[in-house]
Structure 1
Amino acid sequence: MRMSQWAEETFGQRAPLIRQGVAEALSVALENARDAQKAARTDHLHPFGFTLMSRKFEALAKAFEDMGDVRIVKPGGSQHELVLLDGKLLFPFRYAKDRSLTVMSARIGDGRPSALVQALFHRFGPAPRIRQLALHDIAPHAVPVVEALDELPEDTRLVLIAYAANAHAGLLDAWWGEAELLDRFGSLRWHRCEPIPLAQEAGAPAAGDSAAAFDQGVLPMPELNPRTTATRRSAEATPIRPEAAGGA
């Protein structure tokens, strides 16, 4: 079924394949995290959180490692590898643990985003629609050094993958799109935000089922706000903290 105009413009003919791959990668990461929680036999959610923090990046990298025009990059100071797919940098983060918060109110993490995350937004995110704080006002230590992002092409676009999940229910929903970072607390203004049908909703095979096609069961997505041109700014890189990388 037809993809949205934004998805087609961003990912071309491979948009259904990529969207399905994102849904399956998130499902794999969530199941791995839930398995870790069960194996730990503790009421504390640290096993789930720390496993999910790493596996969401690893599962995305594994899903797309053999696709053409894909680079797996690890910017200096980052603890995780990121997928650069035909100039689109995929960045997953958990915006909620339940359905009480909508994606339009999403923030990057529970605390202040790291300097690296802020630099990714300022250099590769969409142009702000209104005047906002300069990068040196948000992350004063992020301005002088930019070498960690120099390996990424200048025309890279940051594509966010926001999802809600918890250890009990697993993956609740997922979205992708482009947004600008508004402040030092991780608030976002979405320029484009579209739902990603979850693997079970799209009739996709379970992870590891080689009998079914990878790109089956794609659902249509609604048109939202128009896409804007990415802007590039310089910034210093520091390690991605757990809360900045999507949290537990």
Structure 2
Amino acid sequence: MTWARKIFNDLTEPLASEIPRCLIRAHQRAKHGHQGVGTQTLEAYGHGLYAAQYEELTAGLENLPEAVPVRLQGRTVMIVAGYLLYPLRYAKKDVPVTEAHLRRATGFRADLIRRHGPEPVQAELDLGLEELQEAEVHRDLLRISPDTRLVLLAYACSIERGVVRVEWGDAELRHDDKHLLWHHHEPLGLPADGGPN
């Protein structure tokens, strides 16, 4: 965890241990919700997982030193040591995080990654057009200091298998693209017992 240690120092181990546990608890809650609703589709699971991931990460990380909650789009996310930790379920099966992409090239998530992710590896071609691309910034993003950097908590998870892979890192998202270009990504180990303590 060389990359993570450079940015989180002594918080690296507590974060690396707790983040997978939070995501596993979110999966368990979503699975129980799906079973309780008893629908044929996975809507209850998907919506439940989306909501629970934020709640579990907040509960699991809020007592760490340098942890500050912030509300974005009606959800609480944690900023730890100046890095916003943002969950991203990128797959339902165990595939490399390098295959992760967003569903859409626009919207809140895309804006968050473009604004707070790493500087692009290759600068976009400047045709002399003044920042037409930099339309309106989503108002929730104005709640975050421009200096805050983004760490994606990318994970693969399904109702049948649970959380099968978790990685953290930083990725850029080019304009009009939904594919993530990872600058750094490192795996986070899953608990040996397959679940939180």
Q: For residue 43 of structure 1, give the secondary structure of its aligned residue in structure 2.
A: coil
What residue in structure 1 maps to residue 91 of structure 2? 96
- Once residues 63 and 51 of structure 2 are traced to their aligned partners in structure 1, the CA distance between those partners, rounded to angstroms, is 20
Where does the alignment leave 5 or more consecutive residues of structure 1 unmatched? 210-248
What residue in structure 2 maps to residue 36 of structure 1? 33
Does 2:100 match 1:106?
A: yes
Does 2:40 match 1:47?
A: no
Q: CA RMSD in A?
A: 2.1
| Alpha carbons 1:29, 1:55 under 8 Å: kept | yes
Q: Percent identity between the aligned chains?
A: 27
The number of residue pairs the alignment matches comes to 193
Where does the alignment leave 5 or more consecutive residues of structure 2 unmatched? none
- Once residues 150 and 162 of structure 1 are traced to their aligned partners in structure 2, the CA distance between those partners, rounded to angstroms, is 24
The CA deviation at 1:70 is 1.1
The CA deviation at 1:24 is 0.7
| Alpha carbons 1:33, 1:52 under 8 Å: kept | yes
What residue in structure 1 maps to residue 146 of structure 2? 154
Aligned amino acid, residue 20 of structure 2: A
Q: For residue 147 of structure 2, give the secondary structure of its aligned residue in structure 1.
A: coil
The CA deviation at 1:21 is 1.1
- Once residues 13 and 141 of structure 2 are traced to their aligned partners in structure 1, the CA distance between those partners, rounded to angstroms, is 29
Evaluate the alpha carbon distance shift between residue 146 and residue 162 of structure 1 in structure 2; reply closer, same or farther with a 3 A threshold.
closer
Evaluate the alpha carbon distance shift between residue 157 and residue 133 of structure 1 in structure 2; reply closer, same or farther with a 3 A threshold.
farther
Residue deviations 1:109-144, cap 9 Å, x none? x33441x2232222211010112389854xxxx623
The CA deviation at 1:146 is 5.9
What residue in structure 2 maps to residue 184 of structure 1? 176
Task: Give the TM-score normalised by the residue count of structure 2.
Answer: 0.88
Task: Give the TM-score normalised by the residue count of structure 1.
Answer: 0.71
What residue in structure 2 maps to residue 19 of structure 1? 16
Does 2:109 match 1:117?
A: yes
What residue in structure 2 maps to residue 84 of structure 1? 79
- Once residues 136 and 33 of structure 1 are traced to their aligned partners in structure 2, the CA distance between those partners, rounded to angstroms, is 41
Q: Which has the higher helix share?
A: 2
The CA deviation at 1:185 is 4.3
Q: For residue 151 of structure 2, give the secondary structure of its aligned residue in structure 1.
A: strand
Residue deviations 1:19-43, cap 9 Å, x none? 1110110010011111111112222
